[in-house]
A and B are shown apart, each in its own frame.
Chain A
Amino acid sequence: MDLTPRPETISPKRRRWMPIIVLSLVGIGGVIVVTQFLSSAIDYYCNVDEVGVRSGCDTANRLRVQGTVEQGSLAKSDNTTEFKLVFNGKSLDVVYSGDPGGVFQECISVVAHGRLVNGVLESNRIEVKHSNEYEAKNKDRLENSGSAACSQVQG
Chain B
Amino acid sequence: MKASQVNTGVSLKMSQSSQKFSSTGTQATRVIGVLAIVVMAWVVISGLVFTPADVVQGESVRIMYVHVPSAWIAYLAFIVTAIASSFYIFAKRHSLGFDRVAGASAEVGVMFMAITLITGSLWGRLTWGEFWQWDPRLTTTAFLFVTYIGYLAVRRLDGSIEQRARRSGVIALLAVLEIPLVHFSVVFWRSLHQRATILDPNGDVKMDGLMLFTLFSGVVAFTLVFAWLVLHRQRTMLLSDLSNERGLDNAILARQSENASN
Chain A residues close to B by CB (< 8 Å): 16, 19-20, 23, 26-27, 30-31, 34-35, 39, 42-45, 47, 66, 100-105, 108, 111, 126-138, 141-142, 148-149, 151-152
Q: Are B57 and A130 in contact (CB under 8 A)?
A: yes
30 CB < 8 A contacts A-B? A26-B177, A27-B174, A27-B177, A42-B136, A42-B189, A44-B189, A44-B191, A45-B192, A103-B126, A127-B133, A127-B192, A128-B129, A130-B56, A130-B194, A131-B194, A132-B196, A134-B54, A134-B57, A134-B64, A134-B206, A134-B211, A135-B55, A135-B56, A135-B206, A135-B208, A136-B53, A137-B54, A137-B55, A148-B56, A152-B55
Which A residues are in CB contact (< 8 Å) with B126?
Answer: 102-103
Once A42-B136, A102-B127 are accepted as A-B contacts, the answer to whether A132 and B206 lie under 8 Å apart by CB is yes
Chain B residues close to A by CB (< 8 Å): 52-58, 60-61, 64, 89-90, 126-130, 133, 135-136, 170, 173-174, 177, 180-181, 188-192, 194-197, 200, 206-208, 210-211
User: In the complex, how many angstroms separate the beta carbon of A55 from the nearest chain B beta carbon?
Assistant: 14
Once A132-B196, A135-B208 are accepted as A-B contacts, the answer to whether A141 and B55 lie under 8 Å apart by CB is yes
Once the chains are docked, how many angstroms separate the CA of A141 from the CA of B55?
A: 9
Once A19-B89, A133-B207 are accepted as A-B contacts, the answer to whether A149 and B56 lie under 8 Å apart by CB is yes
Q: Are A137 and B52 in contact (CB under 8 A)?
A: yes
Return the contact of B57 from the options A19, A27, A34, A103 (Cβ within 8 A). A103
Once the chains are docked, how many angstroms separate the CA of A23 from the CA of B175?
A: 10
Which B residues are in CB contact (< 8 Å) with A66?
Answer: 190
Q: Are B177 and A103 in contact (CB under 8 A)?
A: no
Return the contact of B136 from the options A44, A138, A148, A151 (Cβ within 8 A). A44
Which B residues are in CB contact (< 8 Å) with A35?
Answer: 188
User: In the complex, how many angstroms separate the beta carbon of B226 from the nearest chain A beta carbon?
Assistant: 25
Which A residues are in CB contact (< 8 Å) with B61?
Answer: 134
User: In the complex, how many angstroms separate the beta carbon of A140 from the nearest chain B beta carbon?
Assistant: 12
Q: Are A151 and B55 in contact (CB under 8 A)?
A: yes
Which B residues are in CB contact (< 8 Å) with A138?
Answer: 55
User: In the complex, how many angstroms separate the beta carbon of B90 from the nearest chain A beta carbon?
Assistant: 6
Which B residues are in CB contact (< 8 Å) with A102?
Answer: 126-129
Q: Are B55 and A148 in contact (CB under 8 A)?
A: yes
List the 7 shortest-distance A-B pairs measured between CB atoms, nearest first.
Answer: A136-B52, A133-B206, A27-B177, A132-B197, A44-B135, A134-B207, A43-B190
Considering the complex, give the chain A residue whose CB is closest to the CB of B138. A44
Q: Are A108 and B55 in contact (CB under 8 A)?
A: no
Which B residues are in CB contact (< 8 Å) with A129?
Answer: 128, 192, 194
10 other A-B residue contacts (CB within 8 Å) besides A34-B188, A136-B54: A19-B173, A42-B136, A44-B191, A131-B56, A132-B197, A133-B206, A136-B211, A138-B55, A142-B55, A148-B55
Which B residues are in CB contact (< 8 Å) with A137?
Answer: 52-55, 58
Q: Are B129 and A133 in contact (CB under 8 A)?
A: no
Q: Are A128 and B136 in contact (CB under 8 A)?
A: no
Once the chains are docked, how many angstroms separate the CA of A30 from the CA of B177?
A: 10
Once the chains are docked, how many angstroms separate the CA of A104 from the CA of B129?
A: 9
Q: Are A39 and B189 in contact (CB under 8 A)?
A: yes
Which A residues are in CB contact (< 8 Å) with B90?
Answer: 16, 20
Which A residues are in CB contact (< 8 Å) with B52?
Answer: 136-137
User: In the complex, how many angstroms separate the beta carbon of A50 from the nearest chain B beta carbon?
Assistant: 10
Once A43-B189, A134-B211 are accepted as A-B contacts, the answer to whether A100 and B129 lie under 8 Å apart by CB is yes
